């Protein structure tokens, strides 16, 4: 038996790097089949109390939301494209990975997402179809617990019901529904990995309204499958950094993963099969860092595709106000969506989906982060950048006292007017020059080059999201709302979805893994991650990540 603080290697059939949804589900599915599993995770374990702490971090503007996991020296990166990579705002390195703070939206990809080249002459087809993946989608929905309803006329076909009933639509959904009906836009329930009732020993949602830091456990995080994997005998080793993946003399098989422990020691974990499950950025980075004589451009990179074809989901939001109450921010999640504009026409704008706001009212801030011009930090800022506005504010209201008591500065008012918004997220086509590379000029705390992310939108993304903004304006105008803000793609940050950087394909010369998620180049190296997506579609990727992980686990089991 190995103690929790013993991070030395143990005998293993399978070594998995990364304890996010892909790694945790793979670990569980293989452990329950009787295999010895070791999972190496860079981040720490969180306790139930930590999730209460995270909620306060999320809601208080004077606390850093990501400080519970972020190690600035370890997690440094470079962003060179037009799109700000903002990695450390969106990912989480912890046991459970980014699912620790995800929104838990779990739509499936659509059939056409797998056949973009055949249908529209763009991008590449996946080597598997929606039908191939559908049984794994069903299993994935059961594993993580999805609340939903088969009520989406533009959604992908379903053969099985959702494990739990959908959440009921919000009051503001009913406002949108009238406007959408006038415009013949159909709405549907948003499938979510949040319990609408008790499921799998976790409670139903109790309405904390802070889904990104859900303290109740009603929202799925991969910590669930970490616990299940451990119950099946898997060993999860936290706070260890995988440094490189080492292969044999012939370059046909991986032999070990070299990793560092917090005390600075380096170990070599051996196994029969290896799974890299580090997400769309760190997965290609680890392969690029594992170059060798046999693989001078990075492990499993004979195609040159490792790191290339990075995709995210460009998104735009239109905000507005109504004279009548919109009842925002009484719950944290989105309850309704529309896939009306998912089916694309070629040529023309690509796929996107719409979601309708339940959280347009911001309830944190106000007096909590009101900053007086005469505070030391503000004075330093003004001295450093003496703009006319800043100087005028300092001169006319030097104290800018924060009123307390009856004049307390609340984050938001009761209204009117009442806020409301529509968000749209769309597809990005894979392009080889959108990529993750190594920045040879900067190193992390282990002395390794940091990832360099180069991502920009193209004409297709611009055209798609302009169309989306037009639809948003139509709905809000039909609603009688006054538009107060329109976000565009200019200056945007990368979304939370990082896909495509070790893509799946049949041709080893232009793809990294095959239809089983095994690398073309090495017989026992597998990738479970959104990095294997050949195209990204316009839907949230996590359910597809888990479905692919379950599929990969079956193939790995066949090898053991």
Partner 1 sequence: MTDDQHGATDSVLTRRRFFTALGGTSLAATVYEYGIGSDRSLQSATETQDSRHPASQYHIDVMTAIAEAVYPSAVSVESSFIESRVFGRVEPKPNHFENLLTSIEAVDGHSRARFGGAIPDISPGRRRKVLQSMGVTAVHPNADGTTAEQVRFYVVNDLLYALFTSPAGGELMGVDNPPGYPGGRDAYQRGPDGGER
Q: Which residues bind partner 1 (CB under 8 A)?
A: 48-49, 52-53, 55-57, 59-60, 62-63, 167-171, 174-175, 205-210, 216, 324-325, 327-332, 335, 358-359, 361, 363-364, 366-369, 371-372, 374-378, 399-406, 408, 410-415, 418
Looking at beta carbons only, is 332 or 541 nearer to partner 1? 332
Pairing of strands 147-148, 164-165: parallel
Q: Residue 544 is inside which H or E element, if any?
A: helix 542-559
CB of 314 to partner 1, least distance (A): 27
Looking at beta carbons only, is 20 or 169 nearer to partner 1? 169
Looking at beta carbons only, is 391 or 410 nearer to partner 1? 410
CB of 408 to partner 1, least distance (A): 5
The closest alpha carbon to 189, from 211, 206, 165, belongs to 165
Cα distance between residue 357 and residue 150, in whole Å: 21
Pairing of strands 336-338, 525-527: unpaired
CB of 411 to partner 1, least distance (A): 7
A 10 A CB-CB count for 473 gives 16
371, two tokens: 């900053």
Looking at beta carbons only, is 304 or 403 nearer to partner 1? 403
CB of 232 to partner 1, least distance (A): 27
At residue 500's C-alpha, the angle toward residues 514 and 511, to 5°, is 35
194, two tokens: 């949040």
Looking at beta carbons only, is 194 or 422 nearer to partner 1? 194
First-residue to last-residue Cα distance in the chain: 23
Looking at beta carbons only, is 28 or 418 nearer to partner 1? 418
Give residue 91's Cα distance to chain centre: 7
Question: For residues 395, 398, 402 and 403, what is the CA-based torsion angle, rounded to 10 degrees?
Answer: -80
CB of 221 to partner 1, least distance (A): 17
CB of 418 to partner 1, least distance (A): 8
CB of 409 to partner 1, least distance (A): 9
A 10 A CB-CB count for 208 gives 18
CB of 340 to partner 1, least distance (A): 22
CB of 92 to partner 1, least distance (A): 18
Are 543 and 103 contacting, i.e. CB atoms less than 8 angstroms apart?
no
Q: Residue 526 is inside which H or E element, if any?
A: strand 525-527
Write the CB contacts of 558 (distance below 8 Å, at least 6 apart in sequence). Answer: none
> DSSP secondary structure string, 473-501?
HHHHHHTTPEEEEE--STTPBP-S--B-T
Looking at beta carbons only, is 378 or 559 nearer to partner 1? 378
CB of 197 to partner 1, least distance (A): 11
CB of 362 to partner 1, least distance (A): 9
Looking at beta carbons only, is 168 or 268 nearer to partner 1? 168
Looking at beta carbons only, is 36 or 173 nearer to partner 1? 173
Looking at beta carbons only, is 400 or 515 nearer to partner 1? 400
The closest alpha carbon to 199, from 240, 123, 144, belongs to 144
* Three-state SS at 265: coil
The closest alpha carbon to 310, from 175, 414, 431, 202, belongs to 431
Cα distance between residue 147 and residue 154, in whole Å: 18
Looking at beta carbons only, is 49 or 389 nearer to partner 1? 49
Write the CB contacts of 175 (distance below 8 Å, at least 6 apart in sequence). Answer: 322, 324, 326, 420, 479
Cα distance between residue 436 and residue 501, in whole Å: 7
Strands (E), 50-177: 78-79, 147-148, 164-165
């Amino acid at each position: 038996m190995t103690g929790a603080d013993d991070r030395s290697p143990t005998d293993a059939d399978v070594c998995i790097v990364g304890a996010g949804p892909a790694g945790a589900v793979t670990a569980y599915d293989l452990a329950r089949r009787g295999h010895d599993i070791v999972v190496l995770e860079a981040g720490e374990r969180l306790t139930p109390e930590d999730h209460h702490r995270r909620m306060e971090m999320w809601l208080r503007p004077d606390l850093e939301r990501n400080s519970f996991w972020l190690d600035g020296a370890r997690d440094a990166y470079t962003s060179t494209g037009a799109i700000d990579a903002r990695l450390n705002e969106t990912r989480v390195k912890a046991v459970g990975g980014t699912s620790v703070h995800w929104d838990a939206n779990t739509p499936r990809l659509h059939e056409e997402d797998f056949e973009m080249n055949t249908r529209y002459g763009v991008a590449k087809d996946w080597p598997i179809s929606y039908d191939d993946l559908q049984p794994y989608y069903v299993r994935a929905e059961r594993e993580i617990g999805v609340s939903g309803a088969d009520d989406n006329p533009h959604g992908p076909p379903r053969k099985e019901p959702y494990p739990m009933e959908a959440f009921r639509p919000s009051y503001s959904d009913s406002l949108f529904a009238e406007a959408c009906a006038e415009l013949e836009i159909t709405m549907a329930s948003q499938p979510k990995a949040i319990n609408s009732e008790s499921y799998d020993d976790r409670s139903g949602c109790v309405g904390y309204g802070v889904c990104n830091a859900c303290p109740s456990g009603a929202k799925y995080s991969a910590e669930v499958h970490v616990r299940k994997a451990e119950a099946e005998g898997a060993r999860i080793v936290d706070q260890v950094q995988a440094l490189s993946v080492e292969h044999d003399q012939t370059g046909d098989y991986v032999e070990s993963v070299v990793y560092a422990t917090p005390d600075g020691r380096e170990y070599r974990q051996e196994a029969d099969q290896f799974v890299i499950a580090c997400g769309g950025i760190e997965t290609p980075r680890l392969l690029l860092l594992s170059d060798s004589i046999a693989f001078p451009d990075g492990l499993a990179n004979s195609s040159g595709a490792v790191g290339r074809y990075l995709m995210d989901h460009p998104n735009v939001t239109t905000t507005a106000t109504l004279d009548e109450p919109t009842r925002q921010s009484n719950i944290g999640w989105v309850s309704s969506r529309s896939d009306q504009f998912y089916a694309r026409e070629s040529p023309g704008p690509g796929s996107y989906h719409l979601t309708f706001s339940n959280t347009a009212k911001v309830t944190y801030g106000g007096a909590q982060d009101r900053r007086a011009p005469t505070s030391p930090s503000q004075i330093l800022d003004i001295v450093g950048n003496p703009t006319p506005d800043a100087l005028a504010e300092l001169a006319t209201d030097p104290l800018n006292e924060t009123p307390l008591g009856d004049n307390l500065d609340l984050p938001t008012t009761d209204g009117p007017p009442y806020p409301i918004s529509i968000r749209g997220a769309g597809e990005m086509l894979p392009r080889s020059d959108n990529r993750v590379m190594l920045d040879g000029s900067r190193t992390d705390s282990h002395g390794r080059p940091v990832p360099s992310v180069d991502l920009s939108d193209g004409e297709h993304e611009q055209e798609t999201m302009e169309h989306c903004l037009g639809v948003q304006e139509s709905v809000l105008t039909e609603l009688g709302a006054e538009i107060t803000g329109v976000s565009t793609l200019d200056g945007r940050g990368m979304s939370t979805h990082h896909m495509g950087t070790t893509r799946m394909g049949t041709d080893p010369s232009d793809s990294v893994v095959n239809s089983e998620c095994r690398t073309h180049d090495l017989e026992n190296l597998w990738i479970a991650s959104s990095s294997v997506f050949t195209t990204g579609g316009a839907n949230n990727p996590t359910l597809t990540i888990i479905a692919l992980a379950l599929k990969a686990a079956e193939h790995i089991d066949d090898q053991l």
